[in-house]
Structure 1
Amino acid sequence: MTRHGRREHPGVERPLEGRVAVVTGAARGLGQGLAYALSYSGARVALVGLEDRRLARLASDLPGVAVHWPLDVTCADELAAAADAIRRTLGRPSIVVANAGVALGGPLLDCDTDAWRRVIDVNIVGSALTARCFLPDLLHTHGYYLQVASMAALAPAPLLTAYCASKAGAEAFAHALRAEISHRGVDVGVAYLNWADTAMIREAEETTVFRELRTHLPWPASAIHDPAPYIRAMIRGIERRSAHIYAPPWLRGAHAARALLPSVVAHRSRQVLADRGEAPLPPTGLLGPGGAAAGTVRAGVRNPDPYLHSGE
């Protein structure tokens, strides 16, 4: 655990001044970017994830007060201990972002069973445990819980069975939670995001499965975007306690058309995969540095920085 104090920013608007925010999966990618944005907005930030040294480095770089806890979001005991420590160190969180997530691609029959299960555990069970452990704080502060989902929750795609199931499940969980606790002053939001230029997606682009999947998507669904607009959209959503956040904005239309999307995807996929014939589509394994860290935990080895020197 580390704690850091930073310089003030006179004259800069800080709409989240004094709030305590928790971000899971904060070591890199969207989680890291969101941690910076929350800190610049005045929040005291608790960084949660597997990669201890990356989290410590990020905590030292943030402009405001920050702490970090290395843990596995699928472990209720570790989350509960972190929630208690954050409460004592920073105060009660009023913002919790369930961002931790992993992915793998490939035909269901060929995917490693344990890796497939790990995607479900991190993306659904980890999100639910995060909400449960911090819910007493959110009830006390009348706070806001943000579930990071994906376009995959709206348009399930082939070769991503675990990821699509997990993101759809996380979305449904957040909707159910909103209905359960909104009368108690806690708001719940879902962030629907398309491909963002993160380490996980860059590694995915090196695999046959993801290249095949993404290149056959129609524009704009096939585009990979700078994550900065996604982070700005999430910060606006947090400030407004939004029920839905769409980045890019066209995903709002996809949400409206979601009843049609599975049939459209299935029709298009049938054509594309039939054209490939028997050409192999080898499974990817857990993707990206975050996936590698999750894989070490799955294997029972705590080596949370497998890509520490990768420059990602």
Structure 2
Amino acid sequence: MTTFHRNRPSPLAGRVAVITGAAGGIGGAAARQLVARGARVALLDRDAEAAAALAAELGEPAAPFAVDVTDPNGLERVMAEVAGRFGGIDVVVANAGVSGPLATVSAIEPAEFEQVVDVNLLGVWRTVRAALPRVTERRGYILLTSSIAAAIPCPTVAAYAATKAAVEAFGRALRLELAHTGTGVGVAYFGAVDTGLVRGLITRPALADGLDRMPKVIGAPISPARAGAAMVNGIERRSRSVYAPWWVPGLLAVRAQVALADPLAARFPPLTRLIKDSERARP
């Protein structure tokens, strides 16, 4: 894979990047690396204090903007504020997401399922829609955060998996729609990343038991810094796809074959225990 020589200016130098879910996790790691490569970064997050703290750490190239991706009017307002402060928008990273509770479709509260859809899918749509005129004006780049959950069955987090598959499909459609404008669109696929979102899931006893039986290269989460580096490298190259860790492209390439193993997975003891536990009343 081609890398830019560290003594050469990054193509991101002087560019303006907007990141949702920017206060921590992958978004925060990507923001740090974007600033390190000379970009100016708008940190969008519903946690105003955390976004302000990261902006203070990063200094003048970064600015915090408190907004929730479930608020379309708020996103429109903030994109105008970002353009006013920085002069335009070159890159948008639609990264904000939630996992939802660990529960089967029959056990999850409808409002909880729909909140995951509201943030992970409709939040991506609202973010892109609000930024689109300014990004296409600059023949910029849009990166959408999906997951390996788009390619494998994820019982007990069906809402999360459904939204990540939908984000992938949305990104592919958007790429074709924007091709004539010179605007690039990428989709980021990550395995488990050591963020609060993932940590809250994999520490559940039933799920942890299943992960313990998987090869460590798959079961062990990678650091947010590593995921953020993959994201920023992808932005720098205007990549169609961004991956981390290294084995993710192979998994995506054989997703049709993996689906043939669904009947076997349904009889995998740790998975059956996880499903049964997730069907019980939750505290």
Aligned match for 1:82, one of 64, 78, 85: 78
The answer as to 2:69 corresponding to 1:73 is yes
**Equivalent position SS for 2:50:** helix
The answer as to 2:113 corresponding to 1:116 is yes
- The answer as to whether partners of 1:209 and 1:283 remain within 8 angstroms in 2 is no
Corresponding residue number in structure 2 for 1:21: 17
**Equivalent position SS for 1:96:** strand
- The answer as to whether partners of 1:106 and 1:284 remain within 8 angstroms in 2 is no
Equivalent residues, number: 275
Distance 1:240 1:284 in 2: 47
Aligned match for 2:90, one of 94, 97, 114: 94
Corresponding residue number in structure 1 for 2:29: 33
Quote the offset at 1:152 in angstroms: 0.3
Corresponding residue number in structure 2 for 1:245: 242
The answer as to 2:129 corresponding to 1:132 is yes
Distance 1:282 1:244 in 2: 35
Q: Deviations over 1:90-131 (max 9, x none)?
A: 121111001000002221111121111111111100001111
Aligned match for 2:150, one of 148, 153, 157: 153
Aligned match for 1:141, one of 130, 134, 138: 138
Structure 2 unaligned blocks of 5 or more: 1-6
Aligned match for 1:58, one of 51, 54, 59: 54
Quote the offset at 1:212 in angstroms: 4.4
Quote the offset at 1:229 in angstroms: 2.1
**Bigger CA drift: 14-23 or 185-194?**
14-23
Quote the offset at 1:273 in angstroms: 5.9
Quote the offset at 1:176 in angstroms: 0.4
Aligned match for 1:185, one of 182, 185, 198: 182
- The answer as to whether partners of 2:155 and 2:275 remain within 8 angstroms in 1 is no
**Equivalent position SS for 1:191:** strand
Distance 1:135 1:255 in 2: 28
Structure 1 unaligned blocks of 5 or more: 1-10, 286-312
Q: Deviations over 1:181-223 (max 9, x none)?
A: 1111100000110001112222223323532453354553322
In structure 2, do the counterparts of structure 1 residues 120 and 55 end up closer, same or farther at CA, with 3 Å as the change threshold?
same
TM-score (norm 1): 0.82
- The answer as to whether partners of 2:265 and 2:271 remain within 8 angstroms in 1 is no
**Bigger CA drift: 58-67 or 263-272?**
263-272
Question: Structure 2 matches for 1:179-258, cutoff 5 A?
Answer: 179-258=176-255
- The answer as to whether partners of 2:189 and 2:248 remain within 8 angstroms in 1 is yes
Amino acid at match of 1:122: V
Amino acid at match of 2:207: F
Quote the offset at 1:67 in angstroms: 1.3
In structure 2, do the counterparts of structure 1 residues 46 and 277 end up closer, same or farther at CA, with 3 Å as the change threshold?
closer
**Equivalent position SS for 1:157:** coil
Corresponding residue number in structure 1 for 2:40: 44
- The answer as to whether partners of 1:40 and 1:63 remain within 8 angstroms in 2 is no
Percentage of pairs with the same residue: 36
Quote the offset at 1:269 in angstroms: 3.0
**Equivalent position SS for 2:186:** strand
**Equivalent position SS for 2:187:** strand
**Bigger CA drift: 19-28 or 259-268?**
259-268
Amino acid at match of 2:61: V
Amino acid at match of 2:112: A
Distance 2:69 2:159 in 1: 17
Amino acid at match of 1:121: D
**Equivalent position SS for 2:87:** coil
**Equivalent position SS for 1:260:** helix
Distance 1:155 1:111 in 2: 20
- The answer as to whether partners of 2:106 and 2:279 remain within 8 angstroms in 1 is no
- The answer as to whether partners of 1:52 and 1:69 remain within 8 angstroms in 2 is yes
RMSD of aligned residue pairs (Cα, Å): 2.2
Distance 1:132 1:278 in 2: 37
**Bigger CA drift: 218-227 or 158-167?**
218-227
**Equivalent position SS for 2:260:** helix
Quote the offset at 1:16 in angstroms: 1.3
